[in-house]
Amino acid sequence: MAMSSLLLVWGAVAGCSSSRDATVEGIAADFRGAVRAQDGDLACRQLSDAVRFQLELSSGSRCEVEVRDAGLPTSGTLREVTVSGTAAQVRYDDDVIFLGEFGGGWRIIGAGCLSRADGPYDCQVS
């Protein structure tokens, strides 16, 4: 699967921990657990509709297969959770997961993301 750039401008946001932080942290943890357990169906349910569509369109395979076979990181330690409005970032020492808040709740819009010094994050799934 080709890496793609997540075109997000992410600003530093300071704030206290909240229930929103716990919610997005839980979704990211559930996603990583599903990937680790090779449960593509559960992992794909955590993705936004647009990400699922793009993943299937670009690969020609079902989301469940692509997520399971993507080699996404799952063993890193949680470092930081940042929520700003309808955007969130969950940072692990081996991965960054981006989430967006939609009408049906928080969904993952980027996973397997690594920062680049010269541009936007590179994400395996976005």
Contacting residues for 109 by C-beta, under 8 A, at least 6 apart: 6, 47, 48, 50, 51, 98, 99, 100, 126
Note the pLDDT of residue 42.
96
pLDDT at 8: 38
Task: Please tell me the predicted confidence (pLDDT) of residue 83.
Answer: 96
**Positions in the chain short of pLDDT 50:** 1-16
Q: What is the pLDDT of residue 16?
A: 43
pLDDT at 115: 86
Q: What is the pLDDT of residue 10?
A: 38
